[in-house]
Structure formats: C-alpha cells, structure tokens
Structure 1
Amino acid sequence: MSRLVVGECIVDLHPEGGEAGGHGDAGTYARRPGGAPANVAAGLARLGEAPALWTRLGEDGFGDFLAATLRGEGIPDTFVERDPEAPTGLAVVALDADGDRSFSLYLDGTASTRLEPGRIGDDALAAVDWLHVGGVELAHEPARSAVFDLLERAPEGVTVSFDPNARPSLWRAFDYGDTLARALPDVDVLVASVEDLDPAGYEGTAEAVASAVVADGPHTALITRGAAGAYARSTADAPWGAGTAEHPGFDADVVDTTGAGDAFTAGAVDALDGGADLAAALRFGNAVGARATTAQGAMAALPTREQVEAFLDGVDGGTGGDRGDDDGE
C-alpha cells in the first residue's frame, strides 16, 4: 500500500435527470456514490493506482451499495469498516441552471463520523507514501480524534495532503479556524479554495492565501478557483522545490460540477506523487476536473488516465483550449 485516503464515503441523492432546482424540489432522486475523500480515492484508482480507503459505512442498503461500488473501483476493503449501530451518511444535491451544485448534508450520528483512533496501526502507516485526509471528519467525534491521531503519527517521509472541504452547517461542536490551526502543522500539501479558507481567517486573493498557508506549516498550497483553474505555491521544503504556478482551467461542456474539486485533487496528487512539478500538476489536475464535469454524478463521472490524456491531446491539437482568465468565476 503506497497511498491511503481517509474520510467519508456517503450516498449523494441527485435530482433525476439533472433537473435544476432547490433542495427537495425534484420529484425523484437518483442514488450515487459520493463523499469527497471517497471521490478522491476513486479518482486515483481510475488514474491507475487504487489507494486504500479508511472509511466507515452503515450495515444498511446504502452501505452495501457503497461497499460494492468501492470494490468495483478496485479499492481494497482492508480499512472499509461497517457499523451495525449507525446509518450510512447522505447528501441531497441541488443543481442550478449552470450545473453548479449545493448540498444538504445528513451526517450527524452516521457511520462515517464514528472512525476510532488506532484502527490504522503504525506498521500500516509506515507502508504509506502519500496520505490524503478530508476535513469533514474533523467536525465530529470520535472521527475527529481518529484523524488527528493519524496526522500526528504519520512518520517522516509520508506526504500528507489535506482538503478541509468547509461546510459551515457541520461546524457546531468545534471551531473551524481552531481546527485548521491544529491540523496544518502536520500537513504537507493543502488543497482548498479561498472560500474554504476564509472562515479560518485566510483572506484575500489566491496568491495571498497561498502565501499565508505555507507560513503556517504546509510546504505546498494548491488553491482551486473553480472554472478559473488553480494557483499553487511551494517552499524549498517541497520535494518539487520552491515556486509558484497557475493554470487558468479548461473549457468544458459542463453538465454537473459535483465532485470536480475532488477530481482535481486526485489528478494533482497523482501528478505530484509521480514526480511532476507544480505547473504540470495543476494542468493535469485541471484536466481531470474539467473532464469530470461533463457527466452527472461525482464518482461516476471521474475519468480514466486514457480519457484525460485524450482530453489533453485534444487541447494540444487545437480542438479545445485553456480557459482564459476573463472566463473564470
């Protein structure tokens, strides 16, 4: 095992047929696999190397559906736990006319919030080269303690990436800013949007936010900009060296943006772990993210490496194009 992803795997309920509207407006909903860390894990698997995933599912029909989905992606079930006392988490998705999404999350007391410290032993953790952690678990106990325990035990030589994935409705028991301040010293690569970081006191442009982040622990900050691409900064402590990079994103025929950020994360992690520099990692991550918006669903829309390479070949051949800065959000 060289990569380990940690966090929620839940069921997304999407409006049937992708119809636009508010939460609860759709007449029927389609069941799809989701959860940001699970999407990242599936994205990495589609790109060629299935990671281990530490998550917890209910012993219910939704949990059975998700467990089967993960197996179908080639993700080993070594750390996929089942909880006989808590249900599988749910998210109801709403889409606007442009395919942009919002969520109503039903996670309190669900299986994904009940990860327990010590489940990943020191020997298993020592076998990991790259550890990616989602932030949703940090809003709930005992998963919060379990994730912090893992971050604090990660040995030198393990690259730790973190996506805070801020959801204001979740942060009732714990302070979000204090949580990030505790987590960042144990993080190497932060992947987040400006909107994710603003509630924690990081304000300003992507450039300003990235500079502030790398001063607080991580050696690399990848700041996503939605349709406008991404910006990155790294220090001399990064394996890929000190520097900055940005990529304006790609034009895409957007159907559904659900999971596009997770697709970007999978692409960027895969590229950096494979020896790419910041500029190449942003380009590849943006290509994975753009390709994922062209179909409905988060996990179902994740592209294979061959599909991403074909997408990039089309761009390089003149059939597509990088999105200019004036086309951004």
Structure 2
Amino acid sequence: MDVVTIGESMVVFTPTSNGLMRYATHFTKKIGGAESNVAVGLARLGHRAGWISRVGNDEFGKAILAFLKGEGVDISKAKIDEEAPTGIYFKEMRRQNDIRVYYYRKGSAASLLSPADLDEEYIASAKYLHITGITPALSASCREAILAAIKIARDNGVKIVFDPNLRLKLWKEEIARETLLHIASQVDIVLPGMVEATFLFGNHPPEKLGQLFLEHGASLVVLKLGEKGAHYFTGKEDKWVPGFPVEQVIDPVGAGDGFAAGFISGLLDGLSIYHAVERANAVGALVTMVYGDVDGLPERDEIEKLIAKNNEDVIR
C-alpha cells in the first residue's frame, strides 16, 4: 500500500440553486470527507490508497463504500456499524465566494472509531500514513485512534503526513490547539494553511511559522498560501512555490485535500520537494474549478498538461 488514511466520509447534499438553503427544493447528492478525498485523489494519480473508517449499515454508508471502491480506493478495513448512522452534511452555495457547510455527524458511525478498528499490519505496510485534525475532533475514541495510528506508524518506520484541517465547530479552541500541537510534534510532514498555523502559533509571517513547526518536531513543513502557492521548509532550505492562476473559483471545498494528494503523489514518484509542491498546487487549483469535493480531482495527464503549460507561460 502506498498510503493509508483514516477518517470520516459523509454524504453531501448541495442545493441545485444558489441562495439561502431554506428556500432550496432540490439537492444533488455526492460523497465527501477530507481523508477519503485524499485517497481518491491519489488513486486517480495511479497510487494505491487505503481508507480506514466506519459507516452505518444504511443506504448512505453503502453509497460511500461503493463510490470509494469504484474510484479504486481499498475499503477492506472500513467497518459497517449496525446501529450508528452514516454522517451527512449540507453545502450552502449562498453566492460566489460565500459557501457555507453544515455538518450532521454527531453520533455517526465514524465518530465511534477507536483503536480497536485499526489493523497494525495494514498501517505498517504503507509508505505513508495520512491523517487530519478533523478525526481527533469527532470524539475521545477517535482521538485515541489517531494517536494509536501514529504510534503504529512510528514503530514501523511509516512516514506520517498531517493536515491540521482546523474545524472549530467540532471542539473547543483550547482542546483543539493542545491536540493539534501534540500531533504536529509526532509526525514527519505537516501541511498547514495560514489559518491553522496562526491558530497554533500566533500571528507571524510565513517564514517564522514554518520555523516554529520545525522546532516543534516536524522534519518538513509545507505552508499553504492559497492562490499565492505554498512555501516549504526543511531546516536546510525553504522555498516559495508559486500557485496556478484560476480564472474563477467554483467550489473551494476539497482544494486542501487535493493539495495533500498531489504532494504525497509527488513524493511517491520521487520528485524533489519543490516539484512535489508544484504538483500539489496544480491539483489544488484544478479542484477549485469544479463543484464537489472530489469531482475536480485530476488524473495524471491533466496535471502534466497544466504544469507544462504553466511553465511555458512563465518562460515566455
């Protein structure tokens, strides 16, 4: 297995019309979840990705499993809960650049995830373990599961990639900060956005924030800067990698997950850190151009064409 990831996937309902959701009468149904988004992104780029989670024994849970399996993600370690339901969320497209998300996941099957749901051999077989700050926010047992997965990975020499993915709707600030900082000290690679970095370390310029993450324990930090690109830090070097121009952002949800998939893909392919971040920027940009969490995740030929075109434009 190239990458194993752990987290909740949900069914996503989006009104077919923009504006206040209270007036919506028709919705589209899709699948979304930060960790499974990354798994799908990696699978589309030709890598082997596995997903550990729980879903309810309901039509939504069956839809998630069928969708991920169809995308080439290994779901053999996803468990079906006979009592707890599958989580759902609604995406309200109020107007351009004003998208709001409402979660209905309390008591969901995935929120009951615990260390007992982990398969040590499965995690140990991976080259990378991908985790986010969302899963430990779901419940105490989820937090224990993530910490247990980190220990398994560390004990078996598996590199750990951590996206803080701050969701303050899910937990109190003090607990969030303490937990995310602890996890950041235990992993190899951290992929924060400016919002998460500032939340954890205070208001500092990117260069200082990158250094603070390194001092905290990570060996590689990639600070996401939105449309400006990303800045990476290793202790020996730090470089800014420019982003890709996007004429119109259709749906930004899932762009960070696309970034993570692109970056891990680059590392798996043996690219330099610079070019792995370049691939991450390209995937993130393409995701924003399409409605849906995973709908805009590209295949390898799309990425190669976008990067080649962008480099030609820079040379001109």
TM superposition score normalised by structure 2? 0.92
Q: How many residues align?
A: 312
Of the three residues 285, 292, 315, the one matched with 2:310 is: 315
Structure having the larger proportion of residues in helix: 2
Which amino acid in structure 2 is aligned with residue 135 of structure 1? G
Partner in structure 1 of residue 54 of structure 2: 56
What RMSD over aligned residues (CA atoms) do the two structures have, in Å? Answer: 2.0
Find 1:273's aligned residue among 260, 268, 282.
Answer: 268
The Cα offsets for residues 122-165 of structure 1, whole Å up to 9 and x where unpaired, read as: 32222111100121111112111111111122125211001121
SS at match of 1:186: coil
1-side partners of 2:193 and 2:22: how far apart? Answer: 27
| Alpha-carbon distance between aligned partners in 1 of 2:310 and 2:295, rounded to the nearest angstrom | 23
- In the other structure, the counterpart of 2:163 is 163
Match of 1:151 in 2: 150
Distance (whole Å) between structure 2 residues aligned to residue 166 and residue 223 of structure 1: 14
Instruction: Kindly indicate whether the alpha-carbon contact (under 8 Å) linking 1:100 and 1:257 is maintained by their aligned counterparts in 2.
Output: no
What is the aligned partner in structure 2 of residue 189 from structure 1?
Answer: 189
Q: Is contact 1:163-1:190 (8 Å) kept?
A: yes
Determine the structure 2 residue equivalent to 1:116. 114
- Please tell me whether the aligned partners of residues 176 and 200 of structure 1 are also in contact (alpha carbons under 8 angstroms): no
1:251 aligns with 2:250: no
The equivalences for 1:119-268 within 5 A come to 119-139=117-137, 140-154=139-153, 155-172=155-172, 175-235=175-235, 242-253=236-247, 254-268=249-263
**Within 2, Cα distance between the matches of 1:125 and 1:38?**
16
Q: Deviation string for 1:226-257 (max 9, x for gaps)?
A: 2221111113xxxxxx3112122111232211
Structure 2 distance, partners of 1:89, 1:135, is 17
Give the match's secondary structure for 1:317: helix
The question of whether the paired residues in 2 share the 8 Å contact of 1:2 and 1:51 is answered with: yes
Counterpart-to-counterpart distance in 2, 1:91 and 1:277: 37
**Per-residue CA shift, 1:73-100, capped at 9, x if unaligned?**
1112211221111111122213354345
Structure 2 letter corresponding to 1:148: L
Letter in structure 1 aligned against 2:282: A
Check 1:59–1:173 CA distance in 2 against 1; reply closer, same or farther (3 A cut): farther
Instruction: Give the conservation status (yes or no) of the 8 Å contact 2:2–2:48.
Output: no
- Contact persistence 1:177–1:201 (CA under 8 A): no
1:176·1:199 contact (CA, 8 Å) conserved in 2? no
CA 206–90 in structure 1, closer or farther in 2 if over 3 Å, else same: farther
Aligned to 2:91: 93
Q: CA 1:87–1:268 in structure 2 vs 1: closer, same or farther (change >3 Å)?
A: same
Query: Is 1:74 aligned to 2:63, yes or no?
Result: no
Unaligned ranges ≥5, structure 2: none
Residue 303 of structure 1 aligns to a residue in which SS?
A: coil
1:326 alignment partner in structure 2: none
Identical residues among aligned pairs (%): 30
Whole-angstrom distance in 1 between the partners of 2:171 and 2:197 = 14
State the alpha-carbon separation in 2 of the partners of residues 14 and 99 from structure 1. Answer: 15
Report the counterpart of residue 84 of structure 1 in structure 2: 82
The equivalent residue for 2:39 is 41
In the alignment, the residues of structure 2 paired with residue 56 and residue 119 of structure 1 have an alpha-carbon distance, to the nearest angstrom, of: 8
- How far apart are the structure 1 equivalents of 2:280 and 2:146? 25
Kept in 2: contact 1:10–1:34 (CA 8 A): yes
Letter in 2 for 1:289: G
Q: Which runs of 5+ in 1 are unaligned?
A: 236-241, 323-329
CA distance in 2 between partners of 1:87 and 1:198 (Å): 35
Partners of 1:85 and 1:257 in 2: CA distance: 34
Structure-2 change in CA distance of 1:32 and 1:201 (3 Å): same
Q: Are the aligned partners of 2:7 and 2:53 in contact in 1 as well (CA < 8 Å)?
A: yes
Letter in 2 for 1:56: R
Aligned to 1:238: none
> Residue type matched to 1:137 in 2?
T
d(CA) in 2 for partners of 1:308, 1:225: 20
Q: What's the offset of the Cα at 1:173?
A: 9.7
Maintained 8 Å contact 1:193/1:223: yes
